[in-house]
Structure 1
């Protein structure tokens, strides 16, 4: 057994070896910030990706939901990997290996056409249908206030102001649709000029703008042509000011708090900048 498989639990290794006899590890793709496992492996001369959750992560169930309910149009077009096997109880899944170069930090990240394609792909995901959710806003508001109770480095005066803002937000029903949950270049591949999508561990039913906020935090600010191309690909611009502010501030606060908890100072600083920019751009 390859040493890298030691990061899997006994039950996870048992299932993996049943699904892929003779499996060998090719490369570890995990980011290293949480206790999940992402391995590129090979079995019978075929490439696969193995994902598994540790004790503190809960991505596998959501990723399986996405594969089972929403990804067929992308998979059929070769834009997302095909699910091979998965087990919610043991928290492990296997997909086919999807060829491509990661868009993050590649020349493709600077090309508007990459974002135009990403906009089209996202619109296709969002268009699969949704429902009205009468509890989403209240849940998210409660979550933000709970996150502000955790250790962080947001200044006390600013924190108090953020608590007042969040407490004033509405809690009525909103439309939710299938979302990726981490829509940005680190989860896109480019292959023969075609954008492909990976990593569905945060997939869930949410408002459409939750898939826009991570692009606004960085890529849109680096090049306005990228933003225009993404909007063009998506087909419309759903950023209504009050709703957009709520989603941006939620993302910013979550980023600043989570990054502090995991010790990622660069990402934490980005979260603080996101808070400042969202407040500066707030409707009068």
Structure 2
């Protein structure tokens, strides 16, 4: 099958003999393959990665730990098969339409339900992490040392802000890592969350960043609806928040430039400026 190496193709054939391709849903930007297949009695999604792919391992970890709690309520796909060494997993197909750029994107019920689901995910464990804040800042600073299209003056100011930030221990929770409408599927009964390839344990506010970038800044009413669904514990304001926005914007602009995703790069560049304006003079 297209995009799978020999071992991955053999596993799919052994697990689901006679499965046929319905659609190739791969993005084509990184070494990930996502295939929608039909078997004799159900539809499935095969996700596989190349030798340097870290997303598949994270996805498997999510499905082996917290995602079953969501899947049991129809809020996420069910894991069917996985092989860490071969960098492949198979989960059930969630029928429906992606919320991103569709008619449901501004639907108040969808937005509020998305907040409720994220709150549930964040409630499934947690601990104090002494190092993650420093690691996140370090990652942002590394992107500033790589080729980007961030204007020199903004890059220097971002460097000052990130280098001057003083990380501290923080409570971390199960985090989706890319929580936004592009990973919400509108189903007959509500919405379901897909793609846990950036799963990890992070501060709660980390899971609000993608929504802020993609919707909240330009549609503030949606932020209020989402946070009403989420309930207590939401953090999306203050200096820590804007440092996170800046770091995420720098990383977005850098990564997108590296892989040639110009629309995503423009998004990162825009929010570098927005974050610097919000933070003011250092």
Give the TM interval when normalised to the shorter protein. Answer: over 0.9
Question: Deviations for 1:135-159, whole angstroms, at most 9, x for unmatched residues?
Answer: 1111112111111111111122221
Residue-by-residue CA offset, 1:113-163 (whole Å, 9 max, x unaligned): 111000000000001121111111111121111111111111222211111
**C-alpha contact (below 8 Å) 1:112/1:225 kept by paired residues:** no
1:228-265 superposed Cα distances (whole Å, 9 cap, x missing partner): 11010001332240210121111100111011111111
Tell me, yes or no, if the aligned pair for 1:242 and 1:283 is still in contact at 8 Å: no
Q: TM-score, normalised by structure 1?
A: 0.95
How many residue pairs end up in the alignment?
A: 280
In the alignment, what sits opposite 2:90? 94
5 Å-filtered alignment, 1:24-39, equals 24-39=20-35
Is contact 2:158–2:276 with CA below 8 Å preserved after alignment? no
Partner of residue 275 from structure 1, selected from 267, 272, 275: 272
Q: Which residue does 1:73 correspond to in 2?
A: 69
Please list every run of 5 or more consecutive structure 1 residues that lacks an aligned counterpart in the other structure: none
* Partner Cα separation in structure 2 for residue 16 and residue 146 of structure 1: 38
Q: Give the drift of 1:282.
A: 2.1
Q: 1:121 aligns with which of 110, 117, 120?
A: 117
Tell me if structure 1 keeps the 8 A contact 2:96–2:187.
yes
Residue in 1 that maps onto 2:222: 226
1:239 is matched with 236
Matches of 1:35 and 1:92, distance apart in 2: 12
TM-score (norm 2): 0.96
Contact 1:241/1:283 (CA < 8 Å) preserved in 2? no
Question: Where in structure 1 do 4 or more consecutive aligned residues deviate above 2 Å?
Answer: 221-225
Q: 1:224, CA displacement in angstroms?
A: 2.4
Measure the CA separation in 1 of the matches of 2:24 and 2:104: 23
For residues 24 and 218 of structure 1, the distance between their equivalents in structure 2, rounded to whole angstroms, comes to 35
Q: What is the CA–CA distance in structure 2 between the aligned matches of 1:277 and 1:107, rounded to whole Å?
A: 27
RMSD of aligned C-alpha atoms? 1.3
1:184 aligns with 180
Aligned to 2:48: 52
Alpha-carbon separation, structure 1, partners of 2:57 and 2:214 = 29
Secondary structure of the structure 2 residue equivalent to 1:217 = helix
- Please list every run of 5 or more consecutive structure 2 residues that lacks an aligned counterpart in the other structure: none
Secondary structure at 2:105 match in 1: helix
Q: CA deviation at 1:207?
A: 0.6
Q: Which moved more, 1:195-204 or 1:47-56?
A: 47-56
Equivalent residue number for residue 151 of structure 1? 147
